[in-house]
Structure 1
């Protein structure tokens, strides 16, 4: 192989202590540095590495690693600030699926995760090269390397041979290994954010004397907010700003700041970032906007070279309200109220709205990060921070783009088990996506793909900032409902009707009360009350009566939530009753949620203080309350659902599938739509059932094929084919219900005449039986990976758009959701007394499609339409697959953006 073919992309990743290293392939020019790596080792470490304290062995190792690329060998190094600090390599000998590997780490850098990180990247490279097993020899006293192999999360075995140990490591990728990588990445990520969110010293670069400047506003907020650690200004023209000591440069500061806040012109950023890195700064907050590509690249180069984490550019700032720190490096109008909600946004305006809303509600903020253009620190980073900070119990996100959605999804699935994660589903329309791209320089994401990500990860996706705050108020203050059954209580019939409509339209159910419940409620309500659902307690209801009514409803097993729709009345004023007090006084947090609607309320949502430090959410609109209750019920259902598993599949030949794809792309370097025979060969590798068919290039061949394929009724279908043909119906390239040789010949001649110069042949199939026509497919997203779609098929599939989507790989739960979510689901489940479709066959089809998409990064699109579902079987009637020359990427490999 050539050097280019062996070279892997250079990436940066985090060590266990949060510092940054560069991981890249070894090149011939690295020879002297590699020799230096070994020369600096102690005799003891040389002995452990080479089984003898031999400088000659070290020279040979450097020669081998820096030699020109050769088949079966790969070497990766770790370097920081130009110094090589580690090397990992493997080489195959006899078996191309087994490689001998070794690892070396510079003296003084052990126990920081250098070796483990290198081996993770080596494992990823080996898998891409078709290697399934590593072997390694070590001295039995080399406890560090033996522990490294054991703690990887891969299946490792040992065989002792005298003073040596033969280690065997299976490179299977399963959840055990992914979880181990994830845990190491989480610890490193959190450590890297410490200088950013818990700095011991902060410097504001660009804090001037001019009132109204961003730098001065940031410094003022830090100073006025009571930052408890060291604070400096950097300004060469003054000795102090706002009472904060100022110095001419970062390098002249009396203490190296952990965090430097840069509010300077874009053209000054590269040099300042370089100065910060050389001084030992660990994190940058860049509020500057308008960077050109060269400035952006120079900023990131400095951050990666010196291991600095970066928030921004083009952002509002960051805040950590922990009382021992009181870090408020933002230029928002007010300081956020301390609390328990973590907030990460890309839009500064949305950030201000959320900070204000959470402070007003009394929820408050634990930490806030305005991600801006998100060059480095991302929503994934913040989820991991909140998971471990000990202060956050509610996560709010506003993300307009995703860097690594699959890693984000794995993190979110874990975090949402511990706390609610809420987001605004921004960019749902084409206009919104254009705005997102121009505002954050981010690639647009498709709505269906993003919604699939949120659904599978258990993220509560709202449609506006207002809805986000409404839902956050309920999730913060009340327990989750066990289901969707709501009882409405009102003191005004009209308000009850509005609440009932809102709940029903949102998807909540309003069960009718049982006779026993009716008697129970009438015993405490005033005369004239109507006990249905809603319960009309009338304007005459007293505070005590309403409290008894609510308490009895909450004890009733057929109700999950009680919603009160209350209006102020002269009667209550005259009697001194406060109906709201009926739910805010007494027990604090109840076992079931309670919410209030007050149509006269001036704010969309409030949290009413309740007993024992609790709170009850109060809404100005029934629709808002209903939306929040639906989100809470969905979260409860997601939490109660067991974690999905990816079922094992039989009769899958992945190796042959790779051969089919590679053979096709070798003949078609630019990729394209597979011809029917190649497509059928690929589907057969995954056991995907197809209707019998035959390929014919002449009229006589078509007649012979039809004779062989005719079913009991003697009818066949003929489809024209040429490269690039996708929509046969639109091109009138299909003839149905052909009977006898004469009709088959006439159909073939028609195609020959109309598609002269295009058509390369025809596909002949028996006419399929009656059943439900469905659609199943895959769209490979460059950012999100493969998305599996399913729904109603046939010629109306695009018009009706009755589809559901989930990101691959599909779990058993994902498959169930795909089948039951579309509006056509009742047709499959046996509506109106009909027999259900072969649901097991549908599940298998979707799982096999998902497996194919996961195995083949070259799979750009797959389109099965129609798929015929009958009670007896599920069969693909027409399949189209498009391949592109793409290399596999490991979405879970630890690396920075």
Structure 2
């Protein structure tokens, strides 16, 4: 990382495998460098004295290069990398394919490549990369057909073809870039490394990316959070569907993580996610050229009533709101506009408006403190010239602090005015909805920049006891634990109803007698997951009936599945579900982001209602609180329809304790507390984990608790 500035601003670039042969990648890369690069291009190939009229050296050691671009066959790439390391060339771009994307042999070659890069401390892009570009020096170290225009966007992509397509489109639309990187297989450098670098790069205004997967989700979140305080990040993440994820895996060797994990991870990272290429560049264009609005209020100034209504609808569908004008603004508009005009938002200057009327309306609304952004919207008429309107919009943009977007709804007559607007940093669209969405992107980035990231929640817990319970899977035929692991929750301070697992009728009666009121009794078996379906749960059992109920439950289980492993019967204090709300708190371990927490409406309807929200653990208190506010059934927690509100703080603390548990123990692959009953504030014990199921990977569990990673210092305790 320390030398990435040299990678993008080198004095000498060597092409290892340069060749004059027509149609070869070695020729294309060499030709691109010779065409525009301000520094020196050094072809490296022992078979030639010259390549494209440029002196060729036989070994990278003779090139004295800052960057080496490797285009040799895959069978000799490792030799070339070793030569680069020995020669002191620390920045390497491997264009050659035939690595992790091709099968086991290629994957082994890629692992050796990464090991060699680590040995020589190389900054290595690729393999299977299109190459890199940096416009300040004119460096085009790719085999693409053309160089990028200069600008403030830095662009990374896991697809080289996507880069060539984007650059062709961007050159046609006047969109410029600072740096461009084809990530390839990401054997060494990945998206996180470039986010860290560009976040400190004064020439980068906006970071944009096309991603098929993220190598280290937690590191990515941390790097992006720091970067987005100053530099916005916009990304398209492909592989959202199961079919798309499979295609991504076969394309670049990426192990695609779950879509829910990416949604949560990118949001927690402060990355603005685009769903299409149009959205990507709409967002990048306005973020790089317009200021962040101070308020969410948007003013629309138009000469067309219908499109004005369309824009108003788009505001209602966005994070923005229609600005409420001050009385002074309304009065000024009334004085300046004809009687037929609408002086309220959206301002309709009506179809006979000339440029003076349009300009005056823009100046008035842009000066209103309640207006955070302005959309200029015009249909063609005989009395308005789009060129004049574009010039007037630019002049207003120069004197206002509010961001401005324009919509010129027309064909050929919009081309030059649109070019003028974009040259002056004002995005221009045909569709009013795109204009509003671009302004909404600025508001989203303001929220990201204003976020205060708190430390993860941490508590005093009994980690050694938790380890002992998880280690019990070593003595089992499978790696699943159920209610027999309730003590795991106790070890981490997650409240559970009073009770015990018993193995005899006498013990069942004894435990039931020690619990106030009737009890719930459940079969405990790793082989019978849905106990209610077989009559394996008894509710409202008195202590006098506990022994007989034990016998009955065991008989039912034996009749249902004679070979099932029966660990006993759980006798548990009854939780009054009528007074509380059944929620679910769970975790699934994602390949890229690690522990993905879930919170939502629980009980038997969790999979039917799908009222859930997600965060990547570990989570802070504000993040856990947001989870309780985001689900559709949140009003139930707050006390809808006359119900008492539940103790939200107790639910938040449970989310935090579960977050700490699954972060402390990577061996926990998945875990569900369902239901976690959230109880009213005045109930005393204000949350209760009634049931738990989890899956443990014994291979990743430490041999003993002394090898556990230290937990963070507690920030909260359970009083």
Q: Taking structure 1 as reference, are residues 396 and 507 closer, same or farther at Cα in structure 2, changes over 3 Å only?
A: same
Cα distance in 2, alignment partners of residues 605 and 825 from structure 1: 51
Q: Please, which of 534, 558, 571 is the counterpart of residue 764 of structure 1?
A: 571
Compared with structure 1, are the counterparts of its residues 349 and 804 closer, same or farther at alpha carbon in structure 2 (3 Å cutoff)?
A: same
- Structure 1 counterpart of 2:537: 734
Q: Structure 1 residue 275: deviation in Å?
A: 3.2
Q: Quote the residue 1:134 is aligned against.
A: none
Q: Deviations over 1:669-719 (max 9, x none)?
A: x86223534x222111221111223323344544554455463xx5x4332
Deviates more, 1:878-887 or 1:746-755: 746-755
Task: Evaluate the alpha carbon distance shift between residue 687 and residue 296 of structure 1 in structure 2; reply closer, same or farther with a 3 A threshold.
Answer: closer
1:209 maps to 2:12: no
Q: Tell me the distance in 2 between the aligned counterparts of 1:752 and 1:318.
A: 66
Contact 1:483–1:636 at 8 Å: present in 2 too?
no
Question: Residue in 2 aligned with 1:582?
Answer: 392
Shift of the 521–735 alpha-carbon distance from structure 1 to 2, 3 Å rule, reads farther
- Secondary structure class of the residue paired with 2:133: strand
Q: Which residue, 410, 434, 437 being the options, matches 1:600? A: 410
For residue 398 of structure 2, give the secondary structure of its aligned residue in structure 1. coil
8 A Cα contact 1:358 1:365, kept in partner: no
Question: In the aligned structure 2, how far is the partner of 1:661 from the partner of 1:597?
Answer: 60
Distance 1:511 1:727 in 2: 54
TM-score w.r.t. the length of structure 2 is: 0.88
1:673 aligns with 2:480: yes
The answer as to whether partners of 1:606 and 1:618 remain within 8 angstroms in 2 is no
Aligned partner of 1:290 among 98, 101, 118 = 98
Distance 1:606 1:792 in 2: 52
Pick from 599, 611, 614 the counterpart of residue 802 of structure 1: 611
Contact 1:481 / 1:633 at 8 angstroms: preserved in 2?
A: yes
Q: How does 1:605-644 map to 2 (within 5 A)?
A: 609=420, 614-644=424-454
- After superposition, the C-alpha distances for 1:183-223 in whole angstroms (9 at most, x for unaligned) are xxxxxx222x2443232221212332233322211111111
1:237 shift after superposition? 4.1
- The structure 2 residue matched to 1:309, chosen from 123, 130, 145, is 123
Tell me, in whole angstroms, the C-alpha distance in 2 between the residues paired with 1:731 and 1:631: 52
1:523 aligns with 2:335: yes
Query: How do 1:407-422 residues align onto structure 2 when only pairs under 5 Å count?
Result: 407-422=219-234
1:550 matched to which residue of 2? 362
CA distance in 1, matches of 2:708, 2:335: 67
Contact 1:449–1:787 (CA<8 Å) still a contact in 2? Answer: yes
Please state if 1:869 is matched with 2:678: yes
1:722 aligns with 2:525: yes
| Alpha-carbon distance in 2 for matches of 1:304, 1:706 | 62
Matched, 1:230 2:44: no
Distance in 2, matches of 1:318 and 1:733, equals: 63
**CA 1:784–1:474: 2 relative to 1, 3 Å:** same
Paired position in structure 2 for 1:161: none
Aligned to 1:880: 693
1:382 and 2:194 are equivalent in the alignment: yes
Gaps of 5+ in 2: 100-105, 712-719
Assess if the C-alpha contact under 8 Å between 2:496 and 2:689 holds in 1: yes
| 1:683 pairs with 2:494 | no
Structural mapping, 1:327-726, within 5 Å: 327-356=139-168, 358-359=170-171, 362=174, 364-511=176-323, 513=325, 517-573=329-385, 578-588=388-398, 590-600=400-410, 609=420, 614-649=424-459, 651-662=460-471, 664-668=472-476, 672-677=479-484, 679-699=485-505, 701-706=507-512, 708-709=514-515, 711=517, 714=518, 716-726=519-529
For the pair 1:259 / 2:62, whether they are aligned, the reply is: no
- CA distance 1:605–1:655, shift in 2 (3 Å): farther
Aligned-partner Cα distance in 1 for 2:66–2:83: 14
How many Å separate the matches in 2 of 1:739 and 1:233?
Answer: 87
Give the CA deviation at 1:370: 0.6
Question: Secondary structure of 2:603's match?
Answer: coil
> Residue 359 of structure 1: CA displacement?
4.8
1:542–1:577 Cα contact (<8 Å) kept: no
CA distance in 2, matches of 1:605, 1:794: 61
Number of equivalences:
688
2:133 aligned residue (299, 312, 319)? 319
- The answer as to whether partners of 2:473 and 2:696 remain within 8 angstroms in 1 is yes
Determine whether 1:220 maps to 2:23. Answer: no
SS at match of 1:588: helix
| TM-aligned CA deviation for residue 403 of structure 1 | 2.1
Is the aligned partner of 1:816 residue 2:622?
no
Question: Which digits, 9 at most, give the CA deviation of each residue in 1:738-788, with x for residues without a partner?
Answer: 578569846525445334442332223315231221110122234322121
Secondary structure (helix, strand or coil) at the match of 1:202 reads strand
Distance across 1 between alignment mates of 2:535 and 2:325: 58
Do the aligned partners of 2:482 and 2:692 also contact (CA within 8 Å) in 1? no
Cα 1:851–1:365 shift into 2, 3 Å: same
Equivalent position to 2:635, from 800, 807, 826: 826
C-alpha separation between the residues in 2 aligned to 1:234 and 1:889?
A: 50
Aligned residues of 1:866 and 1:877 also touching (Cα < 8 A): yes
Structure 1 SS opposite 2:152: strand
3-state DSSP of counterpart to 2:221: helix
1:478/1:589 contact within 8 Å kept:
no
Q: Which has the higher contact order (CA 8 A, sep 6+)?
A: 2
State the alpha-carbon separation in 1 of the partners of residues 450 and 418 from structure 2: 27
Partners of 1:740 and 1:437 lie apart in 2 by: 57
Gaps of 5+ in 1: 1-188, 893-897
Conservation of the 8 A alpha-carbon contact between 1:717 and 1:764: yes
Change (3 A) 1:740 1:648: closer
3-state SS, counterpart of residue 372 of structure 1: coil
